[in-house]
């Protein structure tokens, strides 16, 4: 069971890792989009690093923390990634409204709810070469690990691994959603920036869970 200490620490690490990868994410988006994915996500991450300490002090409701993060993504990121990542957090927040702690099953359910939210808003599915090619496989892998009785760390490790495979998969397919869809076949061979961000998020969540021995 994890409380807000893990939530805040994990979101802070996610923010730091995304900021470290700003240039990488821009370069990936430059190849198949407009080159701003790193800038967009880093802007949101800077905002999160300002917001999170205060949220950690004033809120005990895990759903409320996620909700606030989602709202801030929507107002701060802009472009298509703002509403998409914002929706991911809002849906995760809805799944945990009123909870002051989360079981591993809650984390897995949150990921799945978030992925469904993104696909509804984006009118997108797996195979479109978007963040969903990391999100959905990660959700499935985490669900499997959960059902196999694995620890929270192992669940997150499985999610991060599946997201990494998902990122590799995006290299092999043509984009049919988002800006990358405009370049059609020429998108093949390039990895999706949004899927890369999801992989980084899961890797960061896993790292913090190991460090904090979260359960």
When asked if residue 29 is in the footprint of Mg ion (CB under 5 A), the reply is yes
When asked if residue 193 is in the footprint of ligand ADP (CB under 6 A), the reply is yes
When asked if residue 179 is in the footprint of ligand ADP (CB under 6 A), the reply is yes
- C-alpha to C-alpha distance for 146 and 112, rounded to whole angstroms: 13
When asked if residue 192 is in the footprint of Mg ion (CB under 5 A), the reply is no
Site for ligand ADP in 24-63 (CB under 6 A): 29, 33-34, 36-37, 40
Going 21 to 24 to 29 to 32, the CA torsion angle's sign is negative
User: Nearest Cα to 43, choosing from 68, 6, 80, 72?
Assistant: 72
Which residue has 């904090």 as its token pair? 212
- The answer to whether the CB of 195 falls within 8 A of the CB of 163 is yes
User: Nearest Cα to 65, choosing from 98, 17, 109, 43?
Assistant: 98
Contact partner at residue 142 from Mg ion, ligand ADP, none, CB < 5 to 8 Å by partner kind: none
> CB nearest ligand ADP: which residue?
194
Q: Which residues contact 116 (CB under 8 A, 6 or more apart)?
A: 91
First-to-last C-alpha distance (Å) of the chain:
5
Give the x/- contact pattern for ligand ADP in 73-112, rule: CB under 6 A: ------xxx--x----------------------------
Q: Binding residue for ligand ADP (CB under 6 A) from 155, 195, 201, 202?
A: 195
Q: Binding residue for Mg ion (CB under 5 A) from 13, 22, 36, 161?
A: 36
Name the token pair of 37: 């994915």
When asked if residue 22 is in the footprint of Mg ion (CB under 5 A), the reply is no
| Range in contact with Mg ion (rule: CB under 5 A) among 32-40, 53-61, 67-75, 106-114 | 32-40
| Range in contact with Mg ion (rule: CB under 5 A) among 36-44, 68-76, 102-110, 181-189 | 36-44
- C-alpha to C-alpha distance for 22 and 63, rounded to whole angstroms: 28
Q: Which residues bind ligand ADP (CB under 6 A)?
A: 29, 33-34, 36-37, 40, 79-81, 84, 118, 122, 124, 130-132, 177-179, 192-195
């Amino acid at each position: 069971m994890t409380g807000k200490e893990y939530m805040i620490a994990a979101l802070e690490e996610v923010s730091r890792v995304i900021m470290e990868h700003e240039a990488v994410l821009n370069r990936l988006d430059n190849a198949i989009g407009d080159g701003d994915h790193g800038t967009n996500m880093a802007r949101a991450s800077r905002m999160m690093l300002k917001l999170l300490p205060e949220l950690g002090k004033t809120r005990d409701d895990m759903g409320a923390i996620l909700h606030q993060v989602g709202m801030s993504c929507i107002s701060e990121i802009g472009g298509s990634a703002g509403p998409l990542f914002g929706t991911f957090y809002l849906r995760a927040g809805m799944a945990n409204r009123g909870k002051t702690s989360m079981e591993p099953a809650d984390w897995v359910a949150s990921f799945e709810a978030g992925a469904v939210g993104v696909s509804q808003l984006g009118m997108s599915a797996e195979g479109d070469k978007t963040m969903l090619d990391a999100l959905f496989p990660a959700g499935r892998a985490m669900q499997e690990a959960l059902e196999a009785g694995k620890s929270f760390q192992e669940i997150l490790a499985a999610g991060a691994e599946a997201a990494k495979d998902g990122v590799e998969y995006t290299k092999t397919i043509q984009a049919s959603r988002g800006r990358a869809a405009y370049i059609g076949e020429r998108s093949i061979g390039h990895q999706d920036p949004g899927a890369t961000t999801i992989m980084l998020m899961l890797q960061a969540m896993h790292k913090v869970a190991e460090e904090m021995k979260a359960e």
